[in-house]
Structure 1
Amino acid sequence: MTKLQIDQEYLKEQLKNLLLTPSPSGMTDDAVRYVCGELEKLDIRYELTRRGAIRAIIPGKNDSPRRAIAAHLDTLGAMVKGLKREGRLRVVPIGHWNARFAEGARVKVHCDNGQVYTGTILPLKASGHTYNKGVDEQPSDWSNLEIRIDEPVNQIDQLWDMGVRVGDFVSVDSKPEFCPSGHINGRHLDDKAGVASMLAAAKAMMDADVKPELDCHLLFTISEEVGVGASHVLHGDIAEMVSIDNGTIAPEQNTCEYGVTIAMQDSSGPFDRPLTQHLINICKREEVEFSRDVFLYYRSDAASALEAGNDIRTALICFALDASHGWERTHIGSLESVASLLVGYMRSKPLFAEHENVIGDESEYPLIAADRERLKM
């Protein structure tokens, strides 16, 4: 089986365009429209759920059981909590991210009247020339932050006249930078790098006119950062779902910085062992650089799909990410590896040749040899 090439320039183009499209949880329509446009260019059929998530399909050689691959379009963000007398804005987070990483962020305030105002998230004591050591002594907490809008405003009435209201969405600028070394910096690589990798994998399949072994759903969810994720987007005869998200670069982690990482477990529990081993075997066969890791403070679309009652096998594959939910960085090599594994997965034979959602014969069950020998003892 000839290995399909991943179009690196296309992958980078998709990632850049996605990063420049604001999509905090609850305000994802522009990103959804963008991805729908790309699916149309690739001639991939899709539909939208009532809530606006995307369910696309690449028809396979067999239409049952079906596979699914999921990545989320929504990102972290913020919301206006209150209008202050002096013309600044109180702010609260959308999603779970530390106030430490919000300080200094450039943002856009999206008003109901269609106006969009730029601004900066600042601590209440932001001037060293005024507060001296008080700048360092103040807490890192969302209650200690405010938004300074880039408009001539210093009174609450002016904010009101501008159309600023409590509950306005605040998007955080990504500020993407693509380095000659292959490193990519920017906020919201989680999970727009996963979305770009999935689009690149789909393009490789469509360009080569290669059909997956099974019908494959491409799921683009819109509320993973607030815990909902893939809970509502699955339907039909889907037996397996592979979720794409970030793998953290940090001490005591085993994430592969320039390849793909197979997650064995996250905070929601272990992933399906046969499906996970299947992905590992694909990496070995296709010579895709990979590692295995366990994440203690982490969950993905896979967890929400299971919690919603879906009887499916789930797995998680990760691109490398340094400083997750902060000033993030990945590498194009890692994203290409993710895309290559996805292509290999879509082209692979069904997990169990004759049955779905069963343990199967010992010969079908993808245990390593040592495990199989122990079972015979």
Structure 2
Amino acid sequence: MDFNIDVNYVIDTAVELISIPSPVGYTYDAITRVGQELCALGITNYKITKKGAIIGFIEGENNNYKKMISAHVDTLGAMVKKIKSNGRLQLVNLGGVNWGSVEGENVTIHTLNGDDIEGTIIPVKSSVHIYGDEARDMARNASTMEVRLDEDVKTKENTENLGIRVGDFVSFDPRTVITESGYIKSRFIDDKMCVAQLLGYIKYLKDNNMKPKNGLYIYISNYEEIGHGISIVPDDLDEFIALDIGLVGEDALGDEKKVSIAAKDNKTPYDITVRMGLVEAAEMNDIKYTIDVYNRYGSDSSATLLQAFDFKSACIGPSVESSHHYERTHIDGVIETIKLLIAYL
């Protein structure tokens, strides 16, 4: 099979999407941008769901069997929990933030009046010159971290006068870097890279004047990080593949230069017949892959199964090192994932 993938398009699109703040619950701008790109690729028959996600459809060569691919634009982030007496902010995490991973990170507070205010997440006792070992040894959690605003604030009232309120969303600087060796580093490879891969697959179809083998629903979800990303499942859906990250680590088999095929996550085993089809497609086309079991992981497709919908499920994606931290993958793994989409779909 000829895999003439527009890799530059995929990477450029991923970098752009990653730069758009979209902590879970604050995804309108990212969804709007994806919708614009779908239109540019000729997919104009999509709709925005009541929850703000995107669902569309691509005609297949045979529409008697229907598949769906999802990827999610929501990311980890935070929300203002309290404005402290010193004018600084206490946060509550959105989507399972590892507080140690965001120490020293620059953030943006998105106010209801539309102003964006900058700051930095630091421990409440940050300076070793003042606190010594206490600063080094203090636990990093929601109660010991705060946002130092880059404004002249000393009191709660000063901060409130900026327009900041409890409930304001807080996004983190993604710090996206692409190295000469092909590694991609960013906070939000999960799952903006997968959204870009899905768009890259659609561009492949357009560039080659092709259709998928089966009718294909496209779902861009926006609440995956907290477990309710998919709200609409078409009645005629036969098969649902979540496009999400694989894992690299001591208890995982993932490889940043390969596509990951999940066998099981913390909710369910994935469908064995779909997994066999994915493996067959990979092996027939010399696509580098791993199969893995994830103990602390869920995807849009497995979460939807818990709602008692009746379809086959799977999950594939590029393997990511240090997931939910400062994440990293490799361009090779991105390409292998798109190749598997092309070969299987």
What TM-score does the superposition give when structure 1 sets the normalisation length? 0.89
For residue 158 of structure 1, report the CA deviation from its aligned partner. Answer: 1.0
Contact 2:320 2:329 in 1 (8 A): yes
Contact 1:4 1:205 in 2 (8 A): no
**One-letter amino acid of the structure 2 residue matched with residue 86 of structure 1:** N
Correspondences of 1:76-225 after superposition (within 5 Å): 76-225=76-225
Correspondences of 1:237-276 after superposition (within 5 Å): 237-276=236-275
Q: Which residue of the partner structure matches residue 73 of structure 1?
A: 73
Contact 1:322 1:328 in 2 (8 A): yes
Distance 2:25 2:222 in 1: 8
SS in 2 for 1:267: coil
Q: Which runs of 5+ in 2 are unaligned?
A: none
Moved more, 9-18 or 232-241: 232-241
Contact 2:267 2:303 in 1 (8 A): no
Q: Which residue of the partner structure matches residue 343 of structure 2?
A: 344
Distance 1:50 1:114 in 2: 22
Moved more, 337-346 or 27-36: 337-346
Distance 1:252 1:110 in 2: 37
Distance 1:149 1:302 in 2: 39
For residue 101 of structure 1, report the CA deviation from its aligned partner. Answer: 1.2
Contact 2:258 2:337 in 1 (8 A): yes
For residue 341 of structure 1, report the CA deviation from its aligned partner. Answer: 0.8
Find out whether 1:51 has 2:51 as its counterpart: yes
Larger Rg computed on CA atoms: 1
**One-letter amino acid of the structure 1 residue matched with residue 30 of structure 2:** A
Distance 2:117 2:256 in 1: 37
SS in 1 for 2:238: strand
Q: Which runs of 5+ in 1 are unaligned?
A: 347-377
Q: Which residue of the partner structure matches residue 25 of structure 2?
A: 26
Contact 1:105 1:173 in 2 (8 A): yes
Find out whether 1:293 has 2:292 as its counterpart: yes
CA offsets 1:18-50 (integer angstroms, 9 cap, x no match): 110000110000000010011011001311111
CA offsets 1:36-83 (integer angstroms, 9 cap, x no match): 011011001311111111112211112222100111110000000111
* Superposition CA RMSD, Å: 1.0
Q: Which residue of the partner structure matches residue 283 of structure 1?
A: 282
What TM-score does the superposition give when structure 2 sets the normalisation length? 0.98
CA offsets 1:172-202 (integer angstroms, 9 cap, x no match): 1101011111101110110111111111111
SS in 2 for 1:284: helix
Moved more, 35-44 or 250-259: 250-259
